[in-house]
Amino acid sequence: MRVPTKVIEANLATAESIAHLLRSRPEPAVRIPGATWSVGEAAAHLALANQLMAAVAGGERRPYGDGTPGGLAAANEESLADYPERDPVVLADAIVAHTRAFAAAIEQRDATETVLTPMGPMDLGTLPSYLLTHQLGHGYDLARALRHPHMIDRERVELSLPFLLTAMPRVVDRRTAADRHARYTVGLRGGPRFGVALADGEVTISQPPAPGADCVIVTEPVTFLLLALGRCNPAGAIARGRILAWGRKPWLAPAFPTYFKAP
């Protein structure tokens, strides 16, 4: 069983979109809004991450952090300190080259094979979705910093879902989710839906969603991904009508994003 070509093509297209931003030769020191990184640092991180993912897709074992948000952040800072390249054009070429290497490697392997990733064990069928989600998050940051349109759209969000559903139980914030019990149906407006059961800090995902949810949350697709990646304020999205909620306990909706901590 091979990895679907659509998600591989989406990764290649996203890498090219990011490279297009960087080939405009922006100043590397420009800060990413709301983040600690600069444009040069974010681009360097993408180059390093895409290289790592290409190695994993090719069968190499590359431990990176401990799978927790804090562990990943520490590993990111360490890798950036060891990689001083900040020239946007050089990094643009690296991002594209490593994405192509990823595509070439993963096309030759069985999608059911399990590999070790920075987010823990994962099958190769989900790995391209992981890479796409990561590229879209940092690509969005770069586009905002450089005042260009971002590259997130409905199709790419839907292709990101396999990774997001895999990652959700691994990024539960047990401080906010402790002692909480609720069943949600969550989905994209006009698109797929899935179930999220929360019990004492543990999350179980079901697709399709199990019947009898306490709360149904349907989100505009781009907003859904930005919320999942911590790039969007839930209250603002609700106020603008980008999130709708109903069911027996619709008041459970605003707290839902707080139960997860984006890495």
Pair (201, 245) in one structural domain: yes
Last residue of a domain, one of 135, 168, 201: 168
CA distances from 108 to 5, 105, 113, 160 (A): 12, 6, 12, 21
- Does residue 263 register a pLDDT over 90? no
Residue-level pLDDT at 132: 98
| Number of structural domains found in the chain | 2
Q: What is the CATH number of the domain that holds 68?
A: 1.20.120.450
Per-residue pLDDT, 101: 98
Read off the pLDDT of each residue in 177-198 and give the average, rounded to a whole number.
Answer: 96
Question: Which residues lie closer than 8 Å to 35 by C-beta, 6 or more apart?
Answer: 42, 141
Residues 231 and 133 in one domain: no
Residues 154, 202, single domain; the answer is no
**Would you state the structure tokens that stand for residue 210, as one six-digit string?**
């199990």
190 and 216 together in one domain: yes
**Do 177 and 154 have their domain in common?**
no
Residues 100 and 180 reside in one and the same domain? no
Residue 2: pLDDT band (50, 70, 90) is confident
Do 215 and 162 lie in a common domain?
Answer: no
Torsion angle, alpha carbons of 101, 106, 108, 114, to 10: 140
Residue 160: domain span:
5-168
pLDDT single digits (tens) 147-163:
999 999 999 999 999 99
Q: What value does the mean pLDDT take over residues 90-107?
A: 97
13 shares a domain with 103: yes
- The dihedrals phi and psi of 180, each to the nearest 5 degrees, come to -95, 140
pLDDT at 33 over 80: yes
In angstroms, rounded to a whole number, what is the distance separating the alpha carbons of residues 204 and 183? 9
Residue at a domain's end among 168, 194, 219? 168
Residue 68 in this model has a pLDDT that exceeds 80:
no
* pLDDT confidence of residue 4: 83
Q: What mean pLDDT is predicted for residues 79-97?
A: 97
**Distance between CA atoms of residues 140 and 68, nearest Å:** 23
Single out the residue in 117, 145, 168 at which a domain terminates.
Answer: 168
Give me the pLDDT at residue 148, please: 97
> Are 137 and 92 in a shared domain?
yes
69, pLDDT greater than 80: no
pLDDT in tens, 138-147: 999 999 999 9
Of the chain, the percentage scoring pLDDT greater than 70 comes to 100
Could you tell me the sign of the dihedral formed by the alpha carbons of 41, 46, 47, 51, in that order? positive
Q: Do residues 155 and 171 make contact, with C-beta atoms less than 8 angstroms apart? A: no
pLDDT value at residue 214: 98
- CB-hemisphere CA count at 13 Å for 135? 36
The CATH number given to whatever domain includes residue 176 is 3.30.1050.10
- pLDDT for the residue 66: 81
Tell me: do 239 and 162 sit in the same domain.
Answer: no
What percent of the chain stands above pLDDT 90? Answer: 88
57 close to 105: Cβ distance less than 8 angstroms: yes
Same domain? For 88 and 215 the reply is no
**In angstroms, how far is CA 203 from the centroid of its own chain?**
18
pLDDT digits (tens, 9 = 90+) for 206-260: 999 999 999 999 999 999 999 999 999 888 998 899 999 999 999 999 999 999 9
Q: Are residues 41 and 78 in the same domain?
A: yes
User: For residue 256, what pLDDT is reported?
Assistant: 95
Q: Helix 127-145 and helix 154-167: axis angle, to 10°?
A: 120
- The residue with greater pLDDT, 127 or 262, is 127
Residue 73 to residue 49: CA distance in whole angstroms: 13
In angstroms, the Cα distances linking 158 to 10, 129, 187, 197, 242 are 11, 9, 10, 21, 17
